[in-house]
Amino acid sequence: MPYYIYRIVALGPVRRLESLGEHAAYGEAAAEVKRLRGSADPALGTIRMIFAENPLKAEELLSETRPPEPMVGDDY
């Protein structure tokens, strides 16, 4: 399975995903993500890398919203 690199731009509750590349090896993908993050303007979105079976699954995983963390313990 390859590593996919995306730029994610939050437009309100919707996320726009822009594919920036695909790499077979983790080292190559990680180096490319570091290079892109170093030269990118944070206002243009975040750069993310994801390991997935295909581009459709990668976009599905990146579009998911995570449930909030449970509030347990003495801090709450």
Rounded to 5 degrees, what angle do the CA atoms 69, 44, 9 make?
A: 45
Query: Is residue 73 assigned to a domain?
Result: no
Q: How is the beta sheet containing 14-23 ordered, strand by strand?
A: 14-23, 3-11, 46-51
pTM, 2 dp:
0.81
Query: Is residue 34 assigned to a domain?
Result: yes
Query: Is residue 17 assigned to a domain?
Result: yes
Composition of the chain by helix, strand, coil, percent to 5:
35, 35, 35
Per-residue pLDDT band for 75 (boundaries 50, 70, 90) equals low
Query: Tens digit of pLDDT for each residue in 14-52?
Result: 889 999 999 999 999 999 999 999 987 888 889 999 999
Q: What is the count of structural domains for the chain?
A: 1
The residue among 6 and 75 whose pLDDT is bigger is: 6
What range defines the domain where residue 10 resides? 3-60
